[in-house]
Structure 1
Amino acid sequence: MKEADRLKWFSLGATLAETDGSLLSSVPHEWGPKFEASSGAVTRTMTGPNSISFNAPSHMALLLLTPQPGREVALNSDRKSQFLAPVGTLEIVPCNAELFAHWPVPKENLLLALAPAQLDRLAGLEFGRNDFEFRSPPSGHIDEKALLLGQFIKEEFRKGESVNDLYMDSLITVFSTYLLRNYSTFQDRRASQPRGGLTPRAWRDVQDYIRANIGDQLSVERLALLVGLSPSHFLRAFKQTVGQSPHQYVLATRLELAERLVATTDLPFPKIASIAGFSSHSHLTASMRRYRHTTPSELRRACTGR
């Protein structure tokens, strides 16, 4: 695809997003990997030099993973500001805002796309109201905490097909909550921070739900709503109660189920992977090798031999 054609295609982002329902449909696939969940979407893009101009189809946050000298940006204005954008620079583009950006050197960044309805729902859970507006940081603003979250997302992307869907959903949820707390009108109205773990009843309900839906893509918001907590409180309470994060617990549960099916049935491995919630046979194999130091084939041979 020629660069001019790619930029023209990118500028059609709002229309494309409305057409196929993807929050990141406006970003060419060749720019980098994408992940989308109920909490939002994120892509790790590597491209440039380049320029873009579009109306944001959702709330967006850009986090730079490489420096950009001479970056030019105009947000809802014809006036372009040029500045040095170091690693960790955070930019926020509210939904429907007009953005122009130009970067004269190749760059790597994370781009989060957050649907207004989903972010309104998250704001209601965290702050008890959803009437907020984003406050864009100044040009070249570095956010070390956002960069730390971004590094976790980048590392998960490196796993390729073995990306943990619930972990990525958790990271997007935490990042979204962080943006609301620090870059919106909620900045002056801190959310309450309840402490303590899950009640025994809540823990049983969460366990039952995870086991009943282990083959589906689970979300932090759904688990939190199940026990009447905000997503951020649920993540803290779950780890305090279980000693693991939700994604670690779910992965362990999926591996236990897969191991049992491998050892006690003659189901094909792709079917077992699907039942246990892995995206593919290769995803199951990679996870079992990493965390159990074996593979489905090796485990079945050992069980057959016994």
Structure 2
Amino acid sequence: MMQATVSQENKELPYLDCTVMLPLSAQPIAVPKRASWKFMALEHHRQPPAECSYSLPIHKMRIALQPYLSFEHRVNDGRVSHLTVARGDLAVCPAHSLQWMRWQEDAEFLLLSIQPALLERFAEEAEIEISSIELIETPEEFQDPLIYQLGLTLLTELSAESTIFSAAYIDALSNALAAHILKHFCLYSHKKSLVPASTKLSSTAWRNVVEYIHTHLDQALTLKELATIVGMSSYHFAHSFKQALGISPHQYILRLRIEYAKMMLLKGEVPLSEIVMHLGFADQSHFTRSFKRVVGIPPRMFVQEHRKNVLS
């Protein structure tokens, strides 16, 4: 039986090498859509009947997307289990575990890859006293609404032709995922609460952060970058920021960019391509989607509505 190897497409986050999938019908194995971020990667598989065996140095979470599927599963050369999964069912596969699967009908699923370093980094930033972190293997598939929705959120990035999410938003998703995994799927030697103590930023610290954001709107701002300005961990900074303003750093940055965009659009002195570049959006498509999400209408319609109101 063939066993998966680390793909060279992404040395930090290895993908499942599809050459190890053995088709059980005349249909060929399909190459999945893939995307990667720091500490995370996602694969969207639509595969014919097949079997595969893999062992990778990263944690994997398998999320079922088809309404119903029966398959066989074995972990670390143990007993073969006959399982039935429904849409949203999740399986947790720790790093280096040997996974074998076989299914006899078309299957659709997500593979969410997580660097062990993500959990270690979050534990350190959240000041959790852990001498070792062990991800628990799940014997059966189960429903986890948070990870399912997170997988679907990241899937929108795969389906888009351009970047959707900012670096700060990906940081926030990574932190939420790490906190959830540590709380529900890990064993510890020592553990503190995952809820940080109330930490307030001084007025000087707030001013420094806000000034930095305004000055660097054309860049991909990250939580770590902003947290460093005030000498806090990313986790505590994001928590303090939302406590103070009621919105996350990502939402604040996005709204600020859109406010600047509205002013520049109404002035009409700068072409759209320059507005997009000046405000740190990946491209015009990314800008248009973000603008519509915040304002409710596309940029062109916003300008038309404003001119109509001025003339009336």
What band does the TM-score fall into relative to the shorter chain? 0.7 to 0.9
User: What one-letter code is carried by the residue in structure 2 that aligns with 1:140?
Assistant: E
| Deviations, residues 117-143 of structure 1 (Å, cap 9, x unaligned) | 333222222214462111112212333
Q: Is the 8 A contact 1:44 1:110 kept in 2?
A: yes
Larger fraction in helix: 1
Structure 2 residue aligned with 1:244: 247
Q: Supply the distance in 2 between the matched residues of 1:75 and 1:228 (Cα, whole angstroms).
A: 43
Matches within 5 A, 1:137-286: 137-154=138-155, 161=162, 163-165=164-166, 166-186=168-188, 189-196=191-198, 198-199=200-201, 200-264=203-267, 266-286=269-289
Change (3 A) 1:107 1:221: farther
Structure of larger gyration radius: 2
Cα distance in 2 between the residues matched to 1:227 and 1:148 = 32
- 1:46-97: CA deviations, max 9, x gaps? 4343333222142222222334532222232264322112333222222233
Residues 296 and 24 of structure 1, relative CA distance in 2, 3 Å threshold: farther
Show structure 2 runs of 5+ residues with no match: 19-29
Structure 1 unaligned blocks of 5 or more: 1-6
CA-CA distance at 1:45 after TM superposition: 3.5
* Other-structure match for 1:42: 42
Residue in 1 that maps onto 2:27: none
Q: Which aligned pairs between 1:45-124 and structure 2 lie closer than 5 A?
A: 45-77=45-77, 79-124=79-124
- Please name the residue that 1:23 is paired with: 13
Residue by residue over 1:108-165, the C-alpha shift from the partner in whole angstroms, topping out at 9 and shown as x without a partner, is 4332222233332222222144621111122123334433444544566666636223
% same residue: 24
Task: Check conservation: 1:162, 1:286, Cα contact below 8 A.
Answer: no
Q: For the Cα contact (< 8 Å) 1:88–1:143, is it kept in 2?
A: yes
Letter in 2 for 1:299: V
Q: Report the Cα offset of residue 263 of structure 1.
A: 4.4
Which deviates more from structure 2 when the two are superposed, residues 217-226 or residues 133-142?
217-226
Taking a change above 3 Å as real, the CA distance of residues 212 and 110 of structure 1, as seen in their structure-2 partners, is farther
Structure 1 Cα separation of the partners of residues 242 and 196 of structure 2: 14
Once the two structures are superposed, what CA deviation does each residue of 1:254-298 show, in whole Å capped at 9, x if it has no partner? 212333444457444223212211111122223334433342597
Aligned residues: 294
Distance 1:96 1:275, change over 3 A: farther
Partners of 1:187 and 1:299 lie apart in 2 by: 58
Matched with 1:3 is none
Q: Match of 2:291?
A: 288
Q: Give yes or no for contact 2:56–2:97 (8 Å, CA) kept in 1.
A: yes
RMSD of aligned alpha carbons: 3.6
| 1:11 corresponds to 2:12 | no
Query: Equivalents in 2 of 1:215, 1:50: separation in Å?
Result: 46
Q: How many Å apart are 1:187 and its aligned residue?
A: 8.8
Change (3 A) 1:274 1:150: same
Task: Tell me: CA distance 1:265–1:25, structure 2 relative to 1, closer, same or farther (3 Å).
Answer: farther
AA aligned to 1:163 is: I
Letter in 2 for 1:217: A
* SS, match of residue 256 in structure 2: helix
Amino acid at match of 2:132: D
Distance 1:288 1:175 in 2: 27
